[in-house]
Amino acid sequence: MKKFFEFKGTINGSTFILRFLFMIVLSLPFFILCIIWGFSLVFNYSDIDLSSFSSLSFSESNAIGEKAGEKIAKEIQELGTIKWFSKKLGFGWIASLFMSVVPLIWFGLSTYYKRISALFYSNRIKAFIFFIIVESALDLISISSNSSFVYWICTIMGYVIFFYLVLKNSPIGEHDG
Tell me the per-residue pLDDT of 78-100, one tens digit each, with 9 for 90 and over.
Answer: 888 778 777 777 888 889 999 99
pLDDT at residue 3 in the model: 64
CB 137: neighbour CB atoms within 10 A?
A: 12
* Residues 9, 170: Cα–Cα separation, whole Å: 13
The per-residue pLDDT for 175 is 64
Q: What is the pLDDT of residue 2?
A: 63
> How far out from the chain centre does Cα 91 lie?
20
Checking if the pLDDT of 51 tops 70, the result is no
> How is residue 170 annotated by DSSP?
P
Contact residues for 80 (Cβ-Cβ < 8 A; gap 6+): none
Considering only 30-39, 50-59, 60-69, 141-150, which range has the smallest mean pLDDT? 50-59
Tell me which DSSP letter residue 81 carries.
H
pTM for the model:
0.76
